[in-house]
Amino acid sequence: MAASLESITMRSTDLIKKEPLDYGGFGQVYLCHHKRFGQVVLKTVYTGPLRNDAHKRMLIEEGNLMHKLKHDRIVKLLGVILEDGQCSLVMELIPKGNLLSMLETVSVPLPIKGRIIMEILEGMVYLTSQDIVHKDLKPENILVDKDFHIKIADLGLATCKGWSRLTREESRKQQSRKGAQSSARTAGTLSYMAPEHLESVNTASSEKSDVYSFAIVVWVVLTRQQPYENAQNDTHLSQCVRNGDRPDETLIPEDTPKEIITLMKDCWHRNPGQRPTFAKCRESFQPFYKERLEKYVEEACRGMDKYEGPEYFVETMKSLSLESSNLPSETPAPLRSSDSMPIEASIEDLNHSMESSLQMDAAPPTPPPPTATWS
């Protein structure tokens, strides 16, 4: 049953504690303990005053649209907070942080790289079927769960006009405060932007824009490096991409299957009309993945068991887990495993609980079994 407009509205007082995180591409992000949902992620999009009731209603309606998106490869929206000084999104916690952090920290085996590519395609095929253009697909906006599956984040802020407008207003405010740091963030997004958008600000975003961004993400997954590191500035980078430059193919490991490289190069074609759709990408890549890589994924994941996520992220989760255990008994504590680490899979059950309007018992339920790996 779909959530009503009122059911996705939360209050800031529902959040017991906030710890800052470097988690995604938009706004200020915090790890929080929600008194009903346990550990969640709070993304503060806007810190100014709300305009009027009609504006608030529009933001709630857009939040409801985001909440209705249901797919294993898409981060779930649990609720929205709309108060003067805080317009925020409350989302499920994905415990291993973003894809870029993982790629920069550990060596990722080829079978897992293949599954990452496959799952990004699955998520983007779903979004396309919902008439959604992400507009900011990059490794920072792709999150990694406890079983090394991925989920795509930040799609709502790029898609919903009301939340997008608040994002731009907040971004301008933050840029005036932070200067160079904000410029560096902008440059990161620019690396994934299709050349047609660098040529004209009037070019409308489309599925083919996201396909181009996906190709650059594939290059990063293969090389574990940032694209265009030798670019002198944004203007230099933009000019080179418009002239046909793409990330350095010589940095791609020699044992990379040609099927992945061909997919990547087809997707970063200069002419958007020559790029395949996400459905075509999945159609061409899936047989190769299933035949050549899928059977090795489970073993590869076992070899990465020691990677819990970015160190600061893991420590923050542990700290919040310990502090929330001291909350009053009438406040449900976050679900956790025997070693006091939060259970990411519990968000699924809690979200289902909200949708069916059932009340949680005071004691946390028995954690469900881990999400199965690809078979």
Would you name the residues annotated as active-site residues? 136
Q: Which of 368, 373, 253 is nearest to 303 (CA)?
A: 373
Specify the long-range contacts of residues 241-249, CB closer than 8 Å, at least 24 apart.
241/193, 241/195, 241/198, 242/195, 242/198, 242/199, 244/270, 246/219, 247/216, 247/219, 247/220, 247/223
Residues pairing with 34 in the sheet = 15, 38
CA distance 246 to 256: 18
Contacts 24+ apart (CB under 8 A), 274-279: 275/208, 275/211, 275/212, 276/211, 277/128, 277/207, 277/208, 277/211, 278/121, 278/124, 278/125, 278/128, 278/207, 278/210, 278/211, 278/214, 279/125, 279/128
41 within 8 A of 30, measured Cβ to Cβ: yes
Q: Helix (H) and strand (E) counts for the chain?
A: 14, 8
Three-state DSSP class for residue 50: coil
Element (H, E) at 262: helix 258-267
Nearest CA among 142, 95, 108 for reference residue 314: 95
